[in-house]
Structure 1
Amino acid sequence: MSPSRPHQTVHTRVVAAPPEVVYELVADVRRWPVIFEPTVHVRHLERTSGAERFELWAQVNGQVNTWASRRDLDPAGLRVAFRQERSHAPLTSMGGDWTFRPVGGGRTEVVLTHRFTVDGGEEQLAWMNQALDTNSARELAALARVAELGHPVDDLVFSFTDRVVLPGVSAADVYAFVRRSDLWPQRLPHVGRVSLSEPQPDVQDMEMDTVTAEGRSHTTRSIRLCLPGQIVYKQVVPPGMLLGHAGSWEFADGPGGAEVHARHSVAVDPEAVDAVLGAGSTPADARRHLRDVLGRNSRATLEHAGRYAREQPAPHTGAGVSR
């Protein structure tokens, strides 16, 4: 097989859900970080009713890569075509499509096709094939898992945002507090332990033990991207009751002080709701619980960040001080 010519891979899975349901999960790329395990973050660059451009960060063979893609959406034809506008080495081009075909009994055959070229020899081609085999299988499995839950998707996959204004501090101060999560056990009462590493520049791997208001402790592991004015995260080990959890902190200076928007996106596992909230609990109960607990933790983190920044001594500006 020559690595210089175009190559193609095809991955398929039959999903026990109607084609329209499965199509919508793929078509709404904003949901991907809480549905697809490899996807860390998506940022739209342009969007219309039938097409979109976005930047995507995803784990590929153990590393976080980023690229820009364009997609054409065809709900009538049950097809999503994609093409990378800016690929990550060793790729020189990448495109393909998702198609959704009814196969009877309320089931759908999902076909994910990739067409690509690589720069390099057989080693680079083998690396790319391995990445596509691994990520495609994981994405199709995750797609089936959510589509087959037996509840309306909007009841289980949702987002919410809190806006917090912190008087007397700068956005840079709050950003620094959130970025240095290795210091959270000394700074935040609801955090018991944090293990933080930075395997790539501005990419963090964070494991954290959190204590709930009821005294329960749970461990999460997240991949975090420290972007200009924004820190985004994707929990690769989410807490109980969640199939996926991702979010972001967005920092800006406003007239009243630092303004921070803390956003959470979640995918609820309805089969785990009873175990966490008690027998007879519903997805609606889970929604209220998550809105309260996750929002409260984010607001508490930001209030502590503001208090910490205000308590720091003002920087010395006397002559002779190296800046």
Structure 2
Amino acid sequence: MHHTSHSVEVDAGAGVVYGLIADAVRLPLFSPPHVHVERLEFDGTRERLRMWATANGEVRSWISERVQDPRARRIEFCQTLPQAPVESMSGAWIVEERPGGTSRLTLLHDFTVVGDHPGDVAWAELACETNSRAELAGLQRLAACWTRLDDLVLSFESSVRVRGGAELVYDFLYQADDWPHLIPHVTRLDLTEDSPGVQVMSMETMDVAGGTRATESVRICFPHAERIVHKQTVPHPLLAGHTGEWSVVPDETGATVVSQHSVVLREEAVERILGPGTRLATARRLVREEIGRGSRATLELAKNYAESAIRVL
């Protein structure tokens, strides 16, 4: 059994910090390594989660069970279906109250590796070290500005009605490597899919001023549910986090396609990028406009793709 322990001091109360780690579904927005979390079961104390995260440059997935104890401000977890070379993985999040309204957040890991081969042990240790530090740092930054979270966190969506098959819309969204030929504002896109349904994407888009901006994302595709969730691992410079989802909802006469986004503004970058004196409200509006513009353009092109295919058939 191998053990790791990592801690940070947080300039926020223990209750605030515990609330952030208890909301597992939102962790991808706040924690850099987390890509997507689906809550499979929850009875108020015990929960079962399907999780995707990056580890040493790879996208990994597992089933995790967590037990929440808000009174002790402790959450214990155990991977029930770890991914090789990890054989077992468990641990705990612990929040301790400190003087002056601050707190200490600790992340513990206990793990074994198949065969205990030195190379695999080193891989797992590096993943725990890198991810733990990134998770704690992300939560530390967010908790420190918890009184302004309503101004820093923004969620919005766009939708379009399609008179065509849902599977055609999903095909357009899934085949993102074709987007540079189909979507005018996408100037470059490199996509790999080493595991079925897990796409790693590097994309360059054009803004309204004619400049280009590069982002990197991981997309998790659910073809049977006609959903694609995504997390920008290298987001817009104004953002500390960006997650979203494409979903196609079929009905008797067609489908509704929805593009949803959640972002966290990087407060310290607002004036540096947008100019001295720029208020958070202005940054929120500009981010929503820029992301929304790209989403609406993609939705309209997906609609045209599906409806044109129906006419040709």
TM-score by length of 1: 0.88
Q: Is the 8 A contact 1:165 1:256 kept in 2?
A: no
What SS does the corresponding residue of 1:239 show, helix, strand or coil? Answer: coil
> How many residues align structurally?
310
1:261-300 residue pairs with structure 2 within 5 A? 261-300=258-297
Q: Identity of counterpart residues, as a percentage? A: 42
Q: Is the 8 A contact 2:29 2:242 kept in 1?
A: yes
How far off its partner does 1:278 sit? 4.1
- 1:7-60 CA-to-partner distances (Å, cap 9, x unmatched) read 322111112222222222211112211221111111111223333221100112
Bigger proportion of residues as helix? 2
**Alignment correspondent of 2:237:** 240
Q: Give the distance between the partners of 1:92 and 1:251, measured in 2 at CA.
A: 37
Q: Give the distance between the partners of 2:295 and 2:42, measured in 1 at CA.
A: 29
- 1:220-251 CA-to-partner distances (Å, cap 9, x unmatched) read 11111222222121111101210011111112
How far off its partner does 1:314 sit? 6.3
Q: Residue 67 in 1 paired to residue 62 in 2?
A: yes
How far off its partner does 1:87 sit? 1.5
Of the three residues 125, 150, 164, the one matched with 2:160 is 164
How far off its partner does 1:151 sit? 4.1
Tell me which amino acid in the other structure corresponds to 2:156: F
**Alignment correspondent of 2:249:** 252
Of the three residues 93, 98, 101, the one matched with 1:103 is 98
**Alignment correspondent of 2:132:** 136
**Alignment correspondent of 1:148:** 144
- 1:139-161 CA-to-partner distances (Å, cap 9, x unmatched) read 11111122224643333234333
- 1:72-114 CA-to-partner distances (Å, cap 9, x unmatched) read 2222322112122222122232221111112323332111111
Q: Residue 115 in 1 paired to residue 110 in 2?
A: yes
How far off its partner does 1:202 sit? 2.5
**Alignment correspondent of 1:311:** 308
Query: Which residues of structure 1 form unaligned runs of 5+?
Result: 1-5, 317-323
TM-score by length of 2: 0.90
Query: Which residues of structure 2 form unaligned runs of 5+?
Result: none
Q: Is the 8 A contact 1:177 1:305 kept in 2?
A: yes
Cα distance change on mapping 1:62 and 1:241 into 2, 3 Å: same
Tell me which amino acid in the other structure corresponds to 1:190: H
